[in-house]
Copies of this chain bind each other. A is one copy, B any other.
């Protein structure tokens, strides 16, 4: 469903959303320690996200990664697609070429529905939404 990389990316962005802003940036190491993801692996992911405009960064001393308010308006699917590509989420549960809504495969109706819901949720949920839920005490983010 989601690759490890995508999960790591989501965690990192969530952590950034709660602990950074234009004035308070975070280094790779700060994040990797907290969310328990290998440092240099996470570095690659963060750079990827930065290159694609999902998160912001500045080089040099006092530099680091952070989220602008604009960054927080991005939906979860945009994060995932940078890491996993577009294909991974839309495909049929059995990877059948000929399967689609008009011509549903045996599992499409029974099980594919859950997948569609999942994708829809990822599309309409933004980082901001998640932060709001946490601040309301509706949910938590235990990092690791």
Residues of A within 8 A of B (CB): 1-2, 7, 10-11, 14, 76, 93-99, 103-111, 113-115, 117-118, 121-122, 125, 129-130, 133-134, 138-144
Contact = CB atoms under 8 A, between A and B. Distances in A.
Contacts of A98: 140, 142, 144
B144 A96 contact: yes
B111 A125 contact: yes
Given A110-B125, A111-B122, A139 B7 contact: no
Given A96-B144, A110-B129, 17 more contacts: A10-B94, A10-B107, A76-B107, A96-B143, A97-B142, A98-B142, A103-B142, A104-B139, A105-B139, A105-B141, A105-B142, A106-B130, A106-B134, A106-B139, A110-B121, A111-B121, A114-B118
